[in-house]
Structure formats: structure tokens, C-alpha cells
Amino acid sequence: MKRCCVFIFGMLLAMILAGHVSLACTNLIVTRGASKDGSVMVTYTCDGEFHPHLLYVRAEDYGPDDYYEIKDWSGKVRGKVKQVPHTYAVVNLMNEHQVVIGETTFDGREELRNPDGMLHYWVLMRLALQRAKTAREAIKVMTGLVEECGYASTGESFSIADPKEAWLMEMIGPGPGGKGAIWVARRVPDGYICSHANMSRIGEFPTNDPDNCMYSENVISFAIEKGYYDPDSGKPFSFRDAYHPPTPQTLRYTATRVWSIFRRAAPSKDWPPDYHRAVKGADPYPLWIKPDQKLSLADVFDLMRDHYEGTDYDMTKGVDAGPYGTPNRWRPMTWEVDGIEYSWERPISTQQTGFSFVSQSRSWLPNSIGGVLWYGVDDTYTTCYVPLYCGINEVPKAYAYGSLREFSWDSAWWVFNFVANFANLKYSYMIKDIRKVRDELEGTLITLQPEVEKTALELSKKKPEMLIRYLTDYSVSHAELVVDRWRELGEYLLAKYNDGYVKNEKGHPEERGYPEAWLRNVLELRPEQFKLEHWGEDSLRAVLPY
């Protein structure tokens, strides 16, 4: 009898259970009609201070008596789920049928978490990927499992996509001892994009359009029962308002990221900041929008690299960015001075990202070739995305190795962290070197993609037994080459910017002082300390011994 234990996401789960991970992620969904090449794309930043391990889970066959054991970290079995006859292979969060799932946690009403539930959101994601051939099937798997076994997490938003369509599903628990979960899922219309970032995004929804909207039977009645919604108020029911009513703090932390993606994808709309700044009466941002132009893969990479540059909230500007314009702000996010609470901005790109991806699901290609997970570790701004085809049967070792406790040049996560952390010393200088290497590598990989897939298609017809090996060798070797290049970049930066100097083209160190604007800030705080007194001629005669 086969038994599987759930240790999803390796160290991530351990850190979550230990309470050391800040669950704060950002997703973007791009439908095929909104992308330049017809791909359905999902982006996912898994943010938190943890060391991710890239996983490959192979396809398996099971017997009628096999089940999936769910254990806690003490080894105690919390429950078990009946296995299906066949499960699908999964690379990180994309399966062999090009189904991909991302998530962001919105928590919602704390009293609705059910500690008696068996299934956390990360277990649902993995089980759905192992059992579903389409996005709709994934939704049915996830909602069916929580109905049977109970849902254990807080509020969650899921991006769920396949080569033809994409969905946003939001789910929250029924409270201690409750059954199942409360949820709603909406299909993103073709030609549109949708984004979510730790806040419930689904407001009103149609109750008579099963092709485009699915929901639990009790989604409205439960809210009425709990007093979250008054049907006599004359207001239409809103999932968001009932289960995750916004506050000024949550709006700033979450809606600002959605606003920034929308403002960059559709600048013609001139999206106002009022809602994410919690201006009374401001309208929420729409659930989805049509971009001004169809988005390429490189465009989507760029949208996930954002510190609100060029806006009033630009994190590379101001005294808080330091002399060299670093956009990183160290935790905690909020602080208090003289009894007044303040908060840093929370950008899309953050140093606390463990891993992120941009997926491509493409209906015109065989599954093993059509599904690509462009995977990166650490901060989205300073990472380099590498292509992992969903048909591969191995993952690059550097992305599956390492520990948060100990630095290692053999760990991709540590290599990218080294470069990103060192750049904070002279960010406005070093980021140019980093972008140059990043853009060159990603540009080459994107340029190679059509030729790689042309060869893969030929192999699928003439030598199908070679296809998986070819895709695996390409994905693994190029991912390892990127890590090698990033190690070289780290060593180059250390030598070029050693001790605060900047080496010129001839290798000679040059003094590069602080920007004048920052020096003026220093003088405002301490106007006398650094002033040099210049002695006149008479003063000099009085002190000189001749």
C-alpha cells in the first residue's frame, strides 16, 4: 500500500508553521487574448523569509487502497485523502497538462479559520495539480476536497489557469468545527488581465452564469447568518465586503500593488490612487481590465518588477531610500513615533521574495512543450527568470539545494541573495550592472525559445522518446548557466565597488561621493558638525611657530 506525506514546498511549510514567514504575495493573470503570442500567463511571487526548494513530483499510479497521508511536523498523521488511480507530474506549481496555480493570502475574518479542518491551501494546490487536466477541474478538485475534509487556512485568493482560460477563486473557512469552505470563482474574460495581492478582490458576482462564475451554495446565506451582510440594506452582496472588509492599512499594503500593475498595463486610464490611499468614497479598482496593448512575456516580467517608480510613492526617492536610492525597506513594515503609527510602502518587488514565476500555457503546442514555468529566486527585480518546461523530469540542482541557516555558493537562492544584498551598499550604481546582465540573459533565453521549441516539435514527431530528455537537458543546463553567471556577477560587483570606491574601465578605484540632495538632508539635521572653518591670515600667524 502506497502512502504519501505532504511536505509541500519543503522549508516553506516548516517556516509557515513556525510563524516566521510573512505571507504576502502578488499575482497577475493574463488571458490568451491579452497576450501577444496567445499564451495564458500567471505570475506568482511567493514572499517570505525562507529558502525555497524547487520540486519535481513525478506521475504515479495507485491502487484502490492507497491514500495520501497528511502529517504535521511532529510526524503525527492529521488525516488522509483517498488517492486517485493516476496522478500527474508537477514542476513547482505547473503540471504536465499546463495547469498552473498561484495564490495570495488575504486572511479575512480571523474567526472563520477552522483549526479542525484538514487541508491547508498549499495542500489543495498540490492535490489539484496532481489530479486536474484543466483549470475548471482544478477548481472542482479543490472545492470537493474541502467539502469532504475541511479547510484549515485563512482567506486565500487562487490564480488557476490552463492553455485556454484563467480563473480567480477566493476561499475562506467556516470557523471552528464548521464544514467545508465558503468560496467563489470567476473566469477572467478573454482579452483582460486580473491582479490580486493579499486582499479579497471579488466583489459582486453573477449567480446565474455557471460558465463564468461558480460558488459555494452557502456563500451568501452564511454571510447573512453571521451578520456580515444584511439583505434588507438594499446593497448587492459583495464577497470582499462580507469576508474581508478593507481597512486603510490593508488597502495601502495590498491595493497599491494592484493599482501599479493596472497603471502600467493601461496608462490611458490614468488610474487614481484614491482607493489604495483609503480616500472615503473612492471606488475599488475593477476586478479585471483590458491592457492598452497586448502583453509580451518580457512585458509581464517587467510588470512584476516594480517599486512604484515614477509615482508619488517611488521607493527609490527620498531620504528613506538613502544616498543611493535603494527601494528596500527593512521590516517591520509599520513603526510608531510619538504615538503616531506609520508604514513603509509595500512594493511588488521585495527583498523578502523566496521564489517567483511567470507561467506560459499555450494551446497550440503539445503539453510538454506548451507549458513553461519561467522561474526565479529572491527579489523579482534582481532575479533572472529561467525556462522550465512542464515536460521535464528533473530540476536544476542549484535550485533544489540549500538552507536558510547557512550560506552556500551551490544554492541558487544564496547566489541571488548575495548579489541583491551587496547592491544595497551602492544601489543606484550596482543596479545598472545587475540589469545589464539580467536583461542580456533573459533576452537570450526568450530569443532561443522559438528555435528550442521547433526542435522539440520535430523530436515529438520523429523521436518522441528523446523529447523529455531534450527539454530537461535544455532547462537544467541553462538554469545552471544562469547561476554560474550570477556568481561571476557577484564577484565582479565585490571587486568593482570594494570599500565604497568605484573602479573605472582601467580598474583604478575612483572616489564617488554622496548625491548633493542627500548631503543637503544631512546638513539639515546637523548643520554645524561637518562645517570646515577656514582661518584667516592673522589667525594663522598667531598659531604658527614662525
Dihedral over Cα of 147, 152, 154, 159: its sign: negative
Per-residue exposure over 273-296, b if at least 16 CB sit within 10 Å of its own CB, e if not:
bebbbeeeeeebbebbbbbeebbe
Parallel, antiparallel or unpaired: strands 86-87 and 67-71: unpaired
Q: On the CB side of 528, how many CA atoms lie within 13 Å of its CA? A: 0
**Is 240:205 a contact under the CB 8 Å cutoff?**
no
Question: What grid cell was written down for 276?
Answer: 489604495
**Is 216:182 a contact under the CB 8 Å cutoff?**
yes
> What was the pLDDT predicted at 75?
80
**Predicted structure pTM score:** 0.94
61 phi and psi angles, rounded to 5 deg: -110, 145
pLDDT in tens, the chain (546 residues): 454 443 344 444 444 433 334 458 999 999 999 999 999 999 999 999 999 999 999 999 999 999 999 887 778 888 999 999 999 999 999 999 999 999 999 999 999 999 999 999 999 999 999 999 999 999 999 999 999 999 999 999 999 999 999 999 999 999 999 999 999 999 999 999 999 999 999 999 999 999 999 999 999 999 999 999 999 999 999 999 999 999 999 999 999 999 999 999 999 999 999 999 999 999 999 999 999 999 999 999 999 999 999 999 999 999 999 999 999 999 999 999 999 999 999 999 999 999 999 999 999 999 999 999 999 999 999 999 999 999 999 999 999 999 999 999 999 999 999 999 999 999 999 999 999 999 999 999 999 999 999 999 999 999 999 999 999 999 999 999 999 999 999 999 999 999 999 999 999 999 999 999 999 999 999 999 999 987 766 665 666 665
> What was the pLDDT predicted at 76?
84
